[in-house]
Amino acid sequence: MTFMELACNRYSERHFDSRPVEDEKLQKILEAGRIAPTACNYQPQRIYVLKSPDALEKARRTKASLYSCPLVLLVCYDSETVWKNPGDRCYELYNAGEQDASIVAAIMMFEAEDLGIHSLWIRGFDSRSVIDTFELPANHIPVMMLALGYPSEDSRPAHLHAKRKPLDETVIVL
Ligand SMILES: Cc1cc2nc3c(=O)[nH]c(=O)nc-3n(C[C@H](O)[C@H](O)[C@H](O)COP(=O)(O)O)c2cc1C
């Protein structure tokens, strides 16, 4: 399968099967994130693997839309490790943490897809609730959750999946 085929096949999964994700596959997914590029190679990503019933129950308490997924990766960045740009005149000490964490998460998402594991990118949660529930250290800034699992028989793309703007609406050629 080409990367383009993989990218076209992926869609947000909201109908997970209860079958657990095998540890070997989880390790490959985490490894894909490990080799992701990050600003200045500082590798500020901090990934919480939520797979015990207790951890998943806590994740659900944050009101994140996890559906029935058996595994969640909570992707954070370490604000003490992240690259900051002192020379940016729009943002005071711009930091690349959200970008780094998102690149890591995206690469893990596509590795999962390649392994037959479906995913859902989740940001619809209250950061305070995530910080308090998991008692995150103050320097671990939650960016997103990646829900992972096998598709169930009901699995199908939601209507938004088919709605992509044409390139001429999103690409500006100068
Ligand atoms: C930054 C970001 C945040 C998202 N947050 C949520 C979320 O909280 N809950 C949810 O069900 N889907 C969430 N999604 C999934 C998007 O709704 C979905 O990717 C989009 O509608 C396109 O559909 P597709 O992924 O099936 O192609 C999020 C996606 C991104 C990139």
pLDDT recorded at residue 86: 87
- pTM of full prediction above 0.95: yes
Distance from Cα 159 to the centre of ligand 1, integer Å = 12
Q: Where are the beta strands (DSSP E) in the chain?
A: 45-50, 71-78, 84-85, 94-95, 118-122, 140-149
Distance from Cα 72 to the centre of ligand 1, integer Å = 15
Q: How many residues does the chain have?
A: 174
For ligand 1, whether the C-beta of 63 sits within 6 Å is: no
For ligand 1, whether the C-beta of 157 sits within 6 Å is: yes
Q: What percent helix, strand, coil does the chain show, rounded to 5? A: 35, 20, 45
Q: List domains and CATH numbers for the chain.
A: 3-170 (3.40.109.10)
pLDDT string in tens for the chain (174-residue length) = 999 999 999 999 999 999 999 999 999 999 999 999 999 999 999 999 999 999 999 999 998 889 999 999 999 999 999 999 988 999 888 999 999 999 999 999 999 999 999 999 999 999 999 999 999 999 999 999 999 999 999 999 999 999 999 999 999 999
72 forms beta bridges with 50, 147
Contact (CB, 8 A) for 93 and 104: no
**Nearest CA-CA partner of 144 in 171, 124, 172:** 124
Contact (CB, 8 A) for 109 and 147: no
